A and B are shown apart, each in its own frame.
Chain A
Amino acid sequence: MAEYKVKFEVFEGPLDLLLYLIKKEEVDIYQVNLTRLAGQFIEYIETMRLLDLEVAGEFLVMAATLMYIKSRELLPVDQQAQAQDDDDGEDPRWELIRQLVEYKKFKDAAAQLEALEERQQNVFPRAPARLEFDSETPARSEASIFDLVSAVNTVLQRFGKRPEQRDIFEDKWTVSEKIQLLLQALAQKPLMKFSELFAGASSRSEVVATFLALLELIRLKHLAAIQDEPFGEIVICRVDKPPAEAAARTPDTAPSPAPPPPGTGDQPSPAGAQPNTSST
């Protein structure tokens, strides 16, 4: 019935609610009027139900305990004392107060732990060597599938909207052929810009075939798609040679003209430049 339920966040459990009510009354836990507290507690549960908030089973157990305590108070004094004797010996009021006091202490301890947690987060050790290492890792982050799809979408815009009329023709390119071509291309160059992959493509189906080939090779961990900054140019490289290493090696193999580093915006590749100017 009630599928849409809001979790009552303020109070984690019935003990939290009781402590809140006691705090509101501004009395010591040991001096609290449990009968009045029982009334307020049940009032709260009613309100929570009215608001269609999920009332956890623990709250109902607590309500029952409180009602039991309240009902015992109604008995004459002599019978009260008797009831306590043949009970299991534990006064339910005392039991509840003991539980509240205990919980309150742990709540306070949790607050102290929280303070320690905060302090410790601001404490720095003598040699933050590991942290430097940590900050290096995100620099060479792999592009997500969403980055790749959005990049291929940019490439596809080059071919304009799907034509209303379509000729049916045989697919000239298969994914497996493109896999071979991609592996060949990247065997010669250590890394390629994403847009370069599609520079020679002449149709949508060819772009799609190349893209599927790329995804397959990434899945097989032959290639990796690296994006150094969010929404930046995606670079494809072989997995056995991470781009940092590959970039460092490029000057060795071809010392005279240093290739432009990937990601510099002033030298857009032909495939990337055209859709931006024509389609928008």
Chain B
Amino acid sequence: MELKLILEAVLFSAQKALSLKEIRDVFAGAPEHAEGDETARRLKKPKEDELVAALEDLAREHEQAGRSFRLACVAGSWQFVTQPEYSPWLKALVGHKARPPRLSQPALETLAIIAYRQPVTRAEVEQVRGVAVDGVMQTLLERGLIEQAGRAEVVGRPMTYGTTPVFLEYFGLRSLEDLPAADELRRVAVQKPEGLATVDPGLATAPPEQLTLPAEGTKPEGQPQ
């Protein structure tokens, strides 16, 4: 019996998403129920990377098979979920999901800044958005999408904020690495283009040929503040 297929059977009948720890508990408990089955004893303590590899393999297989459901990993827990396009029939079956209302545009923007820049202070978020974010931050805190992450080592030691596992669940993300375009946004690397300093009087900014987008992968000398 293959590790992958055992995982498939376990996740198929699981009533909730299973974390790696819970999956390992299942494997640890299996030999008790397997009378003389060598496989259960052999797989009593699967290595974590082997488990993850098998789970990812299984997810890929389901993806390629083009089924109406897939194996998803959300906030580190694995679960079979349906594809979004079948939602009308599932809503008819189980009723609407008891979900809080959708997030507003300012809330999404604030959340995006916190997600990519965490841990981040309120002042830093406001600097990016250019407006006060008190109300929006409060909403995000109340909905459990963000939490206090500590204090920044600057004057006044302001509170810093980060996202919670609820955030990952809400957006169906496996981890923060899973955020779209994560590497690009985490610390925005924009370099001062050459030639911006010298312009003809009356011309607001340098002519287009003098302004170039920063080359991909260039590192900034320091963090923009």
Chain A residues within 8 Å of B, Cβ to Cβ: 12-16, 28, 30-37, 56, 58, 62, 69-70, 73-77, 80-81, 84, 91, 93-94, 97-99, 101-103, 105-107, 109-114, 116-129, 131-132, 134-135
Q: By CB atoms of chain A within 10 A, which of B85, B97, B127, B132 has the most? A: B97
Q: Do the beta carbons of B16 and A127 come within 8 Å of each other? A: yes
CB distance A12 to B103 under 8 Å?
no
Q: Is B196 an interface residue (CB 8 A)?
A: yes
B86-101 toward A: CB 8 Å interface, digit per residue (1/0)? 1100100111011100
* B222 contacts across to A, CB distance below 8 A: none
A194 to B167 Cα, complex, angstroms: 45
- Among A36, A94, A105: residue with most chain B CB under 10 A: A105
B211 at the interface (CB under 8 A from A): yes
- Chain B residue nearest to A119 (CB atoms) is B84
> Which residues of A lie under 8 Å from residue B105 when comparing CB positions?
12, 110
**Mask of B157-180 contacts with A, CB within 8 angstroms, 1/0:** 000000000000011110000011
B182 CB to closest chain A CB (Å) equals 9
Enumerate B78-130 residues with CB–CB distance to A below 8 Å. 79-87, 90, 93-95, 97-99, 102-103, 105-106, 108-109, 111-113, 115-116, 127-130
Determine which of B109, B111, B130 lies in contact with A62 in the assembled complex, contact meaning CB atoms within 8 Å: B130
Q: Could you name 8 residue pairs across A and B whose Cβ atoms are closer than 8 Å? A: A30-B211, A93-B204, A106-B109, A106-B129, A109-B112, A116-B171, A123-B81, A123-B82
A32-B205, A106-B185, A123-B81 known; A81+B130 contact, CB < 8 A: no
User: A31–B205 contact, CB under 8 A?
Assistant: yes
Are the CB atoms of B181 and A112 closer together than 8 Å? yes
Q: How far is the CB of B105 from chain A (nearest CB, A)?
A: 7
> Measured between C-beta atoms, what is the minimum distance from A39 to chain B in Å?
10
Give the residue of A94, A106, A118, A124 whose beta carbon is less than 8 angstroms from that of B113. Answer: A106
Q: How far is the CB of A98 from chain B (nearest CB, A)?
A: 6
Considering only CB atoms, which chain A residue lies closest to B102 in the complex? A117
A93: chain B residues at CB < 8 Å are 196, 204-205
CA distance in complex: A45, B183 (Å): 37
Please determine whether B130 and A14 come into contact, CB atoms closer than 8 angstroms.
Answer: yes
Name which residue of chain B comes closest to A137, CB basis. Answer: B98
Q: Which residues of A contact B185 (CB under 8 A)?
A: 105-106, 109
Assembled-state Cα–Cα distance A111/B131 (Å): 19
Contact indicator A127/B14 (Cβ below 8 Å): yes
In the complex, B17 has a CB within 8 A of chain A? yes
- Docked CA distance A106–B72 (Å): 26
Among listed B38-46, B53-61, B148-156, B187-195, interface-contacting one: B187-195
Chain B 12-42 per-residue mask, 1 if CB under 8 angstroms from chain A, else 0:
1011110000000000000000000000000
List 17 additional contacts besides A13-B131, A73-B202; criterion CB under 8 Å. A30-B213, A31-B208, A32-B204, A73-B199, A73-B203, A93-B204, A97-B205, A106-B109, A109-B181, A112-B180, A113-B115, A121-B99, A122-B87, A127-B16, A134-B95, A135-B94, A135-B95
Q: In the bound complex, how far is the Cα of B69 from the Cα of A113, in angstroms?
A: 22
Q: Are B172 and A73 in contact (CB under 8 A)?
A: no
